[in-house]
Structure 1
C-alpha cells in the first residue's frame, strides 16, 4: 500500500501527480495534482491505493473523500484530442500534468511525478517509477484523474452512443474497435493512433468525413 514516506523527505507542500488516458483510442488525457497540506486523514491512510487496483465504485467513493479531506489541494488538467495529435501522447500527457499543477491554489514546493520522464512543471520535481503504488499523494492523484476522465467519457457516450465509452472509457476494446469499423470515427477519436488510422484507411473517408459519423443510428447523438 502507498504511504507518506516520499512526501516526508521534502519540506513544505508536496504534490503527487499522475495522468490517466494515454492508451485509449478516444478522449482527452487527464492529469491530477494532489497536495495533502494538512496531512492525510486517518481513514484514508489505509484506503488510498493505485486507481488500477480499485473498482469503479471504490474509486468514486475515495475521490469524494479526497476532495472533502481537510486542507487538501487538488488541481486537474487535460490535453485535448487535437493536442494529442499535434504534440504526441507523451507531450500531451506532460502538458496535462503542467496544467494540473497550475490549477493548484499556489505552486507546490515539490512535485512527485509517477513514471520515469520528468515534465517541465515550473516547480521542483522528481519522478518515482511505480509512484502510484508507493506514494499516497500520487495514488490519490491517480484516483482523481481516473474518476474525472471516466465521467468525461460517460458524458461523451451520451452524445456519441454506440462506442461503449461509458463502459470502456475510450480504450480499444473489441466492442469499441468494432464500432469504429461499423460507424467510422467521431471528433473525439485519436486519429494519430495506429488502430484508429488503420480503421479510417480500411473504411475510407466517407465513414468519417470532417470527423463526423454518418451512420443514421447516430444522427440523434450528433445533433445534441
Structure 2
C-alpha cells in the first residue's frame, strides 16, 4: 500500500534547499484513449494532519472501484479539508496531435502543477512524478515507476485525475452519442470501434493515433 516514505526520503535528500517542506505527486490520466484530452493532477497531503482512514483508503486509482474513486475524489477536492490540496490541468486533442501524447501528458502535468502552486500560494518545494519522464515543474522532482502504488501523494493525484477525466468524457458523450464514452472513456473498446465505423470520426478523436488514422483513410477510400 502507498505511504509517505518516498515523500519523506525526497525531502530529507534535499535538506534545507527545497524552498519549503512541501512534496506533491503529479499524475496523469488518459494517455491511451483514442479520444478526448489528457488530464493531470497534483496532490499535496499534510502527513501530520491527514485522516488515517483516508490514507488507508488511497491507492492506485486503477485498483479502486468507480464508486470508491468518486468517494475519495469528493474528500480530496473539498476545499474545507485543510490537509489536502489538489488541482487539475489538461492538454487538448489538438495539442496531443501536435506534440505527441507523451509531451502533451507532460504539458498537462506542468499546467496542473502551476494550478496547485496558485492554490497553495507558493510553489511546492519538491515533487514525485509517476513514471520515467519528468515535466518542467519549477521545483526539484523525482520520477517513480509505479508511483501510484507507492506514494500517497501520487495515489491521491491519480484518483483526482481519473475521476476528473472520466466525468469530462461522460459529459462529452452527451454531445457525441453513439461511441460509449460514458462507459469506455474514449478507450478503444469494441463499442467505440463500432461507433467510429457507424458514425465516423469526431473532432475529439486523436488523429495522431493509428486506429483513427486508419479509420480516416478507410473512409477516404470509399
The two structures have a TM-score, normalised by structure 2, of 0.89
Matched, 1:32 2:41: yes
- Structure 1 distance, partners of 2:208, 2:156, is 30
- Which residue of 97, 100, 114 maps to 1:102? 114
Runs of 4+ in 1 over 3 A off after TM superposition: none
Cα deviation digits, residues 94-146 of structure 1 (max 9, x gap): 00000000001221000100001112212111100000000000000000000
For the 8 Å contact 1:181–1:203, the answer to whether it is kept is no
- Which residue of 174, 182, 185 maps to 2:190? 174
- Structure 1 distance, partners of 2:112, 2:149, is 20
Instruction: Determine the structure 2 residue equivalent to 1:74.
Output: 86
For the 8 Å contact 2:4–2:47, the answer to whether it is kept is no
For the 8 Å contact 2:76–2:156, the answer to whether it is kept is yes
| Secondary structure of residue in 1 paired with 2:58 | coil
| Secondary structure of residue in 1 paired with 2:202 | coil
- Structure 2 distance, partners of 1:147, 1:204, is 36
Instruction: Determine the structure 1 residue equivalent to 2:17.
Output: none
For the 8 Å contact 2:76–2:85, the answer to whether it is kept is no
| Secondary structure of residue in 1 paired with 2:108 | helix
For the 8 Å contact 1:112–1:127, the answer to whether it is kept is yes
Q: Which structure 1 segments of 5+ residues have no match?
A: 207-224
For the 8 Å contact 1:38–1:72, the answer to whether it is kept is no
Instruction: Determine the structure 2 residue equivalent to 1:5.
Output: 5
- Structure 2 distance, partners of 1:65, 1:42, is 13
- Structure 2 distance, partners of 1:183, 1:44, is 43
Question: In the TM superposition, what is the alpha-carbon distance from 1:37 to its structure 2 partner?
Answer: 3.4
Question: In the TM superposition, what is the alpha-carbon distance from 1:38 to its structure 2 partner?
Answer: 5.6
Of 181-190 and 76-85, deviating more is 181-190
Instruction: Determine the structure 2 residue equivalent to 1:41.
Output: 51
The residue correspondences of 1:78-89 to structure 2 (distance < 5 A) are 78-89=90-101
- Structure 1 distance, partners of 2:74, 2:2, is 19
For the 8 Å contact 1:132–1:142, the answer to whether it is kept is yes
Instruction: Determine the structure 2 residue equivalent to 1:126.
Output: 142
- Structure 2 distance, partners of 1:74, 1:46, is 18
Aligned length: 206
- Structure 2 distance, partners of 1:66, 1:43, is 13
Matched, 1:190 2:222: no
CA RMSD of aligned residues (A): 1.4
Instruction: Determine the structure 2 residue equivalent to 1:215.
Output: none
Matched, 1:154 2:166: no
For the 8 Å contact 1:81–1:190, the answer to whether it is kept is yes
